[in-house]
Every structure is written in C-alpha cells, then in structure tokens.
Structure 1
Amino acid sequence: MDKQEILNHIKTKIADKIQHFENLIEETRASNNDTKSSMGDKYETGREMLQQEINNLQRQLNETLNQQTVLQKITADPSEKVQNGALVKTSKGLFYVSASIGEIILDQQKIMTVSAESPLVKAMFGKKVAETFTINNMTQNIENIW
C-alpha cells in the first residue's frame, strides 16, 4: 500500500471541497446582495434565509479547513501501531486514520478514511498487529498496519 498516494488523494479531495464551499459562499453572498430592495418584509425574510445559508456553508468550510490542518501534520511514514496516518487492515476492512472523508478506492482497494475522533479509531488507537478490539459488540483483529 502506498500511503503517500492515499494521503495525496485525500489532500486533493479536501482542497476541492474547500474550493467548492468558497465558491458557494461567494455565489450566495452575490445573490444576497441582489435581493436588497425596499419592497418590504418578504425580501427581508429572503435575505435572512440567505444569511443562514451563508452561515451554514461557512461552518462546513471551517470544518473542512480543520480537516486540512490535521492532514498537514500527517506523514506517510510507516506506523507500528494505530495512530494518525496509520493504514490499518482489520478483519472488517482497510481504514486510514486521517480526516474523515468517507470511502475512497485506490488500486481496486476500498479504503475507509476515518478521523482519530471516531469511535472506531478510539477503540483501536495504540493497538498493534495481532491485537484485537471491540466496538458495537463486534470484535475485530488487527491484521496489518502500514
């Protein structure tokens, strides 16, 4: 497994997501400016709804920027235990401890990206190959760590 390729793929996805949110915020702000009018309460309500949408997009952008910060601290160095940057193979699948962006597929392998804050990673954090952990009443065995 090439951890650098996985890390680069995730960084690209996060950068794309940041650009997407920034574009949406800019477009929403532009449409908010278009609704300025002296026509009354109906337009004020519309402007307030647009402002709430901008606030929601800003919150999502901030979360994505936090994920990017986490990624900047991760290296592709080999890991001997489950930690940030570890690629972990368990009896249930492949997990990359980094930023949680969901499932990615590289070299025909499904890899689930998970945050160190997720219950799964908390259950296996610090464990080594051949150790087991339990989550949701299911015991999993750590088969390999890269």
Structure 2
Amino acid sequence: MEKSEILDILKESVSKKIENLQQLIDETRASSNDTKSSMGDKYETGREMLQQEINNLQIQLNEVLKQQNSVSLLSSKPSVKSEKGALIQTDKGFFYITVSLGNLSYNNSKIFCISPDSPLAKALENKRAGESISLNNINQKILSIW
C-alpha cells in the first residue's frame, strides 16, 4: 500500500464531490430563474421549492468543504498505531481513518474511509498491528498499519 497515492485519490474524490455539488447548485439556480412568471401562486411555490433545494445543496457543499479541509491536514507519514490519518488493514478489509466518504478503489482493493468518530474507528483507537478488536460481535485482527 502506498499511503500517499491513497491520500491523493481521497483528495481528488472530495474535489469531485465539491465540483458536482457546485454544478447542481448552479443548475438549480438556473431553473429557479426560468420559473419567473406572473402566472400565480403555483409558480411561487415552485420557486420556493427550488430555493429549498439550493439551500439543502449548499448545506451539503459546506459539509464537503469541511471534509476537504480535514483531508488537507492529513499526512502521508506512516502511523504505528490506529489514529486519525492511519491506514489500517484488518482481516476484514482496509480502513482509512479520515472522513466518512464511503470507499475508494486502489490496486483492486476497496479502502473504506471512515470518520474518527465512527464506532469502528473508536474500537480501533490506539491499537497496533497484531491486536484484535470486537465490534458488533465481529472480531477483527489488525494485520498492518500505515
């Protein structure tokens, strides 16, 4: 595993999410401008619904911008124990303690990006290679930490 490459993939994934959300906001704003009419309340309701959609997208964008900031603070230096920024291989898979972003693909492996506040990250906290954890009656052995 090359942690710096995985970090680059993570940064690119977050950037793509930001671009997609900004595009959706722009498209929704354009739709909102198209509905301006003097036809009555039906169009006012439609514009209000579009404005609510823009507000929801803006909230999502703000969250992803926070994730981007958090990711930008990560280092590709190897970790010796499970902590924020650690890439961990257990007998059940690969986990990157960073931001909750779902999974990334790297060399035909799935790497699950999990929040440091997630139950799994809490169970892994301060553990080292060779140690085991149990979460939801599932035992996992830590094989490697980067």
The answer to which of 134-143 and 69-78 deviates more is: 134-143
Task: Measure, in 2, the Cα distance between the counterparts of 1:144 and 1:19.
Answer: 34
Name the residue aligned to 1:133. 133
Name the residue aligned to 1:8. 8
Name the residue aligned to 1:33. 33
Q: Alpha carbon RMSD of aligned pairs, Å?
A: 1.1
Name the residue aligned to 1:58. 58
Matched, 1:42 2:42: yes
Name the residue aligned to 2:118. 118
Structure 2: gaps spanning 5 or more residues: none
How far did residue 100 of structure 1 move? Answer: 2.1
Task: Measure, in 2, the Cα distance between the counterparts of 1:21 and 1:105.
Answer: 22
Task: Measure, in 2, the Cα distance between the counterparts of 1:127 and 1:18.
Answer: 33
Which structure 1 residue ranges, 4+ long, deviate > 2 Å from structure 2? none
Name the residue aligned to 1:21. 21
Amino acid at match of 1:42: K
Aligned residues: 146
Task: Measure, in 2, the Cα distance between the counterparts of 1:117 and 1:25.
Answer: 29
How far did residue 108 of structure 1 move? Answer: 1.7
How far did residue 33 of structure 1 move? Answer: 1.5
How far did residue 119 of structure 1 move? Answer: 1.2
1:46-104 Cα offsets, whole Å, 9 max, x none, are 01110111011111111111110110110000101111111101121111111222122
How far did residue 123 of structure 1 move? Answer: 1.1
Task: Measure, in 2, the Cα distance between the counterparts of 1:56 and 1:5.
Answer: 32
Identity of aligned residues (%): 53
Give SS of 1:13's match.
Answer: helix
Task: Measure, in 2, the Cα distance between the counterparts of 1:55 and 1:26.
Answer: 12
Structure 1: gaps spanning 5 or more residues: none
Give TM-score scaled by structure 2 length.
0.95
Amino acid at match of 2:96: Y
